[in-house]
Amino acid sequence: MNWAKTGFYVLLAVIILAALIFYRWIFHYLIAAWIFSYILEPAVNFLEHKHIPRWISVLIVYLTIAGLIAWVTSRLIPVLMTQANNLIAILGNNEEVNSDILLQLPFLKSLQEFVINLDAKIPGLDLTNQFANLLGSIKDFMAKLPKYLVDNYSTIIGAVSFVGMIPLIGFFLLKDKYKIQKALFGLSSNRYFELTIIIMGKINSTVGTYLRAMLLEVISVSIMASSALSIVGVSNPVLIGITAGVANIIPYFGPFFGGALAVISVLFEGGSIMAMIYAALAMYLVQLVDNNIVYPVVVGTTINMHPLLVLLTVLAGGWYGGILWMLISVPLVFLIYTLVNVLYKNLKEYRII
Amino acid sequence: MVFWQWIKTLFSKQQLYMRYRDYALFKNLGAFDLFLLDERMHQRKFKKDEVIFETGYPLEVIYFVTSGEIRLQGLYYGSEEKIIGPGHYLGLLDMYHSEIRSSTAVAHTDVMVDAISQADLMDYIHARPRCGLKILHTVCKDFCDLIFEEAAKAE
């Protein structure tokens, strides 16, 4: 037995373990930055192929996205400012917050009107009292908010740093993509070199393509749904359209959720049966275009999972981590299944197992 | 001074990529094309008698011999063995035939190779069609040489 060699490997294992423990807090940063870099990679590659150095390509892509975000948010800022001013007025006032001030907020005011309208239409529902209780809870929360902000400043700073760090880490992942890849492949022995290349290639193609495709699909469905709903006269079409676009990530049930949201919105506003049918038809048309044109072109292959498995996965995701996990659980399970499948197939073919 | 150093680094780096011109497949590519190719290439070392790949393995990586010699056994060579040296490549012809290796490659001496995955090479060709045309031209030439070589043997 070669004691020196064994000793070295033990030392290496200890160092790796220590590093894992030391860096465990930043794994979620790395994963988020990794996803971020996957989405931006084609744009960076495109610019690099135009003889622009890679780091400048990354900067150009970053600046373009920052410009786009600034442009989009600038269109929403007037509305947001009104509501933010109301909030600041409430927070800046040391007097006890009362429900009347809250009801000056346009959203809550329209919600109250809607609840009263619904109670009038459906006897015995008694949503008005429940809404009043909800306002009471909001009032309590508002009163405690400044103290909450001070008490949880570290959490808030953590969240801000998380959002700020992702583009920064993503910058280096994008700039040094090939160097990182070479370093990773360099770690593998000759026996596993080809296998590592296949696995990494599959991860690149599956995860990268899927993430970019999903992002494009969310954007296209959001735009189509918003346009279709505004054409048929549903109010808040952008909000419902974006929600439908995001919900579309969940196969089978996501599109249904988007359609149901549009119809329920018309129902809550006291719209006619015809208005509800128009809203449903508009969402159906969006799904028709999405399923037959956008999805086959953008995503290419569907997530081939049984509807029951999708339902169970969405439920499990919801129990595990709320709405966010409901959205990501199905793609995550699909990606893990694909990777395990590739790993098993290739380990067999390379006669390793 | 710093700027001059930076310019010098750029040119010295270019020299690193120029070595790919030793391979027939890339001899007509420009410096920038070779730089992009270098991003996707991986250098590997194999010791004497170490197996590089075996018949039946999935075909994913194409190897270019930088130094040393490689022993080949398999479908094309019958019961004989073929020794190849620097400048030769492995796996490219198989790529047009099947998804698995048709031969076994063993390091005849200590060997150094450049390796590129099939997917990366295809991506590179898709992104740079002009380079793809040059590469395809060399592949066609090699195919022709192989056909005429076989025809001559048959006669």
pLDDT tens string B120-133: 998 899 888 989 99
pLDDT of residue A246: 85
Q: Is pLDDT of B112 > 90?
A: yes
Q: In this structure, are residues B26 and B34 in contact, taking their beta carbons and an 8 Å threshold?
A: yes
Nearest to A190 among B40, B46, B119 (CB): B46
* B56 contacts in chain A (CB < 8 Å): 349
Q: B60, A194: Cβ pair inside 8 Å? A: yes
Q: Is pLDDT of A97 > 50?
A: no
Percent of chain B with pLDDT over 90: 27
> Pairing mode, if any, of strands B89-90 and B103-107?
unpaired
pLDDT of residue A146: 65
* B29 contacts in chain A (CB < 8 Å): none
Nearest to B127 among A49, A185, A193 (CB): A49
Task: State the count of interchain CB pairs (< 8 A) between A and B.
Answer: 45
Q: Is pLDDT of B118 > 50?
A: yes
B43 in helix, strand or coil?
strand
* B36 contacts in chain A (CB < 8 Å): 48-49
pLDDT of residue A90: 47
pLDDT band at B94 (very low <50, low <70, confident <90, very high): confident
Mutate to test the interface with A, among B60, B62, B126 (most CBs of A within 10 A): B60
Q: Which two tokens stand for residue B77?
A: 């060579």
- How many domains is chain B built from? 1
Q: B119, A205: Cβ pair inside 8 Å? A: yes
State chain B's mean pLDDT as an integer.
85
pLDDT of residue B86: 93
The angle formed by the CA atoms of residues A205, A212 and A345, to the nearest 5 degrees, is 25
A37-41, A210-214, B3-7: range with highest mean pLDDT: A37-41
pLDDT of residue A79: 56
pLDDT of residue B62: 92
* B46 contacts in chain A (CB < 8 Å): 190
pLDDT band at B114 (very low <50, low <70, confident <90, very high): very high
Nearest to A190 among B50, B120, B128 (CB): B50
Q: Sheet containing B103-107: which strands, arranged edge to edge?
A: B51-53, B103-107, B70-74, B78-84
Q: Is B104 left (phi over 0), alpha (psi -120 to 50) or beta?
A: beta
B16 vs A281: CA distance, rounded Å: 62
pLDDT band at B9 (very low <50, low <70, confident <90, very high): low
pLDDT of residue A260: 86
A83 vs A81: CA distance, rounded Å: 5
pLDDT of residue A224: 92
Q: A346, B58: Cβ pair inside 8 Å? A: yes
Q: B58, A349: Cβ pair inside 8 Å? A: yes
CATH number at residue B9: 2.60.120.10
pLDDT of residue B7: 65
Q: B58, A350: Cβ pair inside 8 Å? A: yes
Q: Which two tokens stand for residue A21?
A: 């423990």
Kindly state the helix (H) or strand (E) to which residue B136 belongs, with its residue range: helix B129-154
State chain A's mean pLDDT as an integer.
79
Q: Is pLDDT of B41 > 80?
A: yes
pLDDT of residue B108: 93
Asked whether the ipTM of the predicted complex exceeds the cut of 0.90, the reply is no
Nearest to B61 among A51, A186, A197 (CB): A197
Q: A201, B60: Cβ pair inside 8 Å? A: yes
> Is the alpha carbon torsion for B4, B7, B13, B15 positive or negative?
negative
Residue A121, chain B, CB below 8 Å: the answer is no
N-to-C CA span, chain B: 67
pLDDT of residue A331: 78
pLDDT band at B55 (very low <50, low <70, confident <90, very high): confident
pLDDT of residue A105: 61
* Helices (H), ranges, A23-105: 27-48, 54-92, 99-102
- A199-208 long-range CB contacts below 8 Å, 24 or more apart? A199/A339, A199/A342, A199/A343, A199/A346, A201/B60, A201/B117, A201/B119, A201/B120, A202/A338, A202/A339, A202/A342, A203/A339, A205/B119, A206/A335, A206/A338, A206/A339, A207/A38, A207/A335, A208/A38, A208/A41
Of A6-10, A165-169, A217-221, A310-314, which gets the smallest average pLDDT? A310-314
N-to-C CA span, chain A: 25
* A178 contacts in chain B (CB < 8 Å): 39-40
Listed in sequence order, the residues at least 6 apart from A23 whose beta carbon sits closer than 8 Å to its beta carbon are: none
Domain span holding position B39? 2-154
A206-220, A302-316, B20-34: range with highest mean pLDDT: B20-34
The whole-angstrom distance between A84's CA and the closest CA on chain B is 48
Q: Which residue of A has its CA nearest to B38?
A: A178
